[in-house]
Amino acid sequence: MDGLKLLLVFIFIMFFLWCRKPLPPVMLGGSVILAVLYRTTPFDFIGMAWRATRSTTTIKLEVILIIIMIFEYFLRQEGYLKRMLNSLMKLIRNPRLIIAFLPAFIGLMPSMGGALFSAPLVGQAASGTSLTPEEKSYINYYYRHIWEYCLPLYPGLLLTSSICNLPLQKLILALAPYTFIVAILGFPVLRKIPPQKEKGSILTGRWSLTKEVLLSISPVLFVVVMVLLLQIQVGFAVGLVLIILLLRHGYTLTKIYNLCKEAIQTKTLFLVWGIMLFKQVILDTHAVNSLSYLLESIAVPQFIVLGMFGFIVGLLVGTVSVASGIIYPILIAAGGQVDLALIVLIFVAAFTGVMLTPMHLCLVLTSDYFKADLYKVLRMAVVPQMVLLAAAVIIYLFV
């Protein structure tokens, strides 16, 4: 019965999102109901809220988001984004490729809520198209995560490799084809973007355009290089580049204060706190553990049960690394067969759940940025994610 409690709370959350209710109060209400169902006292619930608030992860994430908000607003105010995209559109001449490339490029940086970084780039690139706010949100959200199957910087891969005692290279080799599958499955939405109508020689001014793109994208490029090559934390890398830019543009303390006042969105920060509180309640009540016992009672093949477990945990926690940290230890403790094929299937199932839940910060932050209907964005993601999951099952059974 305990497992059903958790599922009922998640259905409650999805129902109110379907009714177009704001996410922060819905998440807070879900946290309270979950705590009540697991007989948590008011004092204990306050303790959970306090632990969620003072958690290193929460504080770090909020600080990173504040820095990214300021950084993005600065780049927009000083014209970096506009110059970069004008040059990029002339250089590549394929708006579909550009709009997909931008979130994928930023996705090389594995940071929670990193879709907020690429959202303004996608928004600028899609400004001349007929894409709806939901379609812009979907493209930004979807293509940001294509590397999570093969980029060793992502903690989900590292954690899975460590827990399952599996060489990282072997795991990445098995998961890498899914990056290609995911990229292809996102193409139907990109087809709605009209091709570039401007004509003329592509070679004309190619070098000057390339130089303009590199100069205008250099702040973002430096951040990516520092994160990927120098292994510097995202928040520190963005903050360092931001300080250099503020000094270069001669910002006074008054101007910096006004920049921060305009850039920082307190609503977004509260929204993130609500999600972190819900995760804290799930962890403190050990609600997910009871879910495995519920699924074990279903008379279906083991790989389906474990796939469902991975999918549901992904839905509930909204992070691949957290899902991996929950699923694989339970599987190993239960004495299950932890072969590579099953590990890959569970990973894909968990990732599918992560991509279809309002617990996923990138989805929430992207939809909030574009003022999109979160329910509609989720609905757009269902078909490609279900096709991906079906492909994973077929590969497991026949390959």
Q: Helix (H, G, I), strand (E, B), or coil: what is residue 186?
A: coil
Q: What is the pLDDT of residue 335?
A: 55
3-state secondary structure 133-166: HHHHHHHHHHHHCHHHHCCCCCHHHHHHHHHCCC
166 is a domain residue: no
Q: Is residue 199 part of a domain?
A: no
pTM beyond 0.85: no
393 within domain boundaries: yes
What is the rounded distance in angstroms from the CA atom of residue 179 to the CA atom of residue 111? Answer: 18
Do both 115 and 235 map to the same domain?
yes
Residue 258 shares a structural domain with residue 322: no
Q: How many CA atoms lie within 13 A of 273 on its CB side?
A: 15
Domain assignment of residue 163, yes or no: no
DSSP state of 127: T
Task: Tell me the C-alpha distance between 97 and 181, whole Å.
Answer: 16
242/122 same-domain check: yes
**Per-residue pLDDT tens digits of the chain, which is 399 residues long:** 566 777 788 788 778 767 777 777 888 888 888 888 888 888 999 999 999 898 887 888 788 878 878 887 888 788 776 777 677 767 777 778 888 888 888 777 666 666 777 888 888 888 878 889 999 999 999 998 888 888 776 778 877 887 788 888 888 889 989 999 999 998 888 888 776 655 444 445 667 777 777 777 788 788 878 876 777 877 888 889 999 999 999 888 899 999 998 888 887 788 778 878 887 887 788 777 666 666 666 666 778 888 888 898 888 878 787 788 777 777 775 555 578 888 999 999 999 999 998 878 888 889 888 989 888 999 999 999 999 999 999 999 887
Indicate whether 18 belongs to any domain: yes
